Amino acid sequence: MGTFRSISVVSILAFAACGGGSDAKPDAPVIIIPDAAIDAPPDAFEPQFDLSCRGNTGPTTAPPTITLSGAVNEVVLNGVTPSVQASHAATVDACKNNCVDADKLDTKVTPASGCPSTGCAYESGNLSTGGVPLDGYLRTTKTNNRTTYVYPPAPIAASLAMIPVLSFTNGAFSGLSLFLSVTQDPAKGMLLVAFLDCANMPISDTANITLSIKQNGVAVQGTTEKDLSALAPQLAGTFGVFNVPVGATEVGGSYKGMALRARVVGSFAASSTLTAIRPGF
């Protein structure tokens, strides 16, 4: 299953990088500042990340309505080789709270066929905010696919575009679990968590990242955490957390002892939840 190294989960988490109305600079580079002589060995150079938004105050207002749009894809297995393809006949719900009745804000279904290789286009209707940031998420479901929930790192204060909604077929998720040597309990959930700086660049210094998973204010026991740089080097700073009990889950952490902003997401049985942790809004 070494071919799983070719699948970049970074695209899964791009929605989280869109944030919830942050004024961060998405295309800003990671700054590398040498702290040693120019001929010093490589480990004498320490990466520097933008933590300037740490502890700031998030937006308190939003337009009366917002929209969410992007592309819907899925990871599949062709034999033992994983690939990403357009997800036809997939249902995408825009939700808040438990996504039941009035909390299911919008539902769209992708075409049964004919989507380009870049994915099936998705665009929600107008979603009412009540004038405040919408603490919402996307849910995608499809027969024979693992249900996926996508939470931005903060409530959504403006319309978001180019959201990549990516799910796994059941076979592809089994292959991922096998590659990572994890046994996933179907009665529990799995989290994908990306650590991003204030410029929405990965905090790739995984040795100095501490991940925190809590429910009801208490650290969750019995989970399995995996550093996904095992799949591809560019995934440094992205973690998979397997066997998370069902329920509201506070995902947080720190970098070099500095607390980052926590995010409460849902963990759902036999499902994947995607989110990102940033220093602030």
Q: Is 170:146 a contact under the CB 8 Å cutoff?
A: yes
Strands 160-168 and 68-78: parallel
Please state the rounded mean pLDDT for residues 231-254.
95
How confident is the model at residue 25, as a pLDDT?
41
Residue in the structure block whose two tokens are 């991922």: 176
The conformation of residue 30, written as its DSSP 8-state character, comes to: P
Identify the pLDDT of residue 45.
62
CA–CA separation, 156 vs 172, rounded Å?
A: 30
| 47 confidence band (pLDDT: 50, 70, 90) | confident
pLDDT bracket for residue 18 (50, 70, 90): low
Q: Is the pLDDT reported for residue 97 higher than 70?
A: yes
**How far is residue 262's CA from residue 250's CA, in Å, rounded to a whole number?**
6
This prediction has a pTM of 0.86
As a whole number of angstroms, the distance between CA 193 and CA 129 comes to: 26
Which residue matches tokens 């719900």? Answer: 93
Which comes out higher in pLDDT, residue 180 or 15?
180
In this prediction, residue 78 has a pLDDT band, given cuts at 50, 70 and 90, of confident
Whether the Cβ atoms of residue 203 and residue 237 lie closer than 8 Å to each other: yes
Split at pLDDT 50, 70, 90, the class of 167 is very high
82 Cα distance to chain centroid: 20
Q: What is the pLDDT of residue 184?
A: 97
Mean residue pLDDT across the chain: 87
**Each residue of 264-273: b (16+ CB within 10 Å) or e?**
ebbbbebbbb
- Delimit the domains of the chain by residue range: 2-277
Confidence of residue 15 (pLDDT cuts 50, 70, 90): very low
Q: Tell me the pLDDT band of 6, cut-offs 50, 70 and 90.
A: very low
Q: Which residues pair with 225 in a beta bridge?
A: 241
Q: pLDDT grade, residue 41 (50/70/90)?
A: low
DSSP secondary structure letters along 179-238: HTT----TTSEEEEEEEB-TTS-B---GGGEEEEEEETTEEPPS-EEEEGGGT-GGGTTE
Nearest CA to 12 out of 165, 225, 187 is that of 165
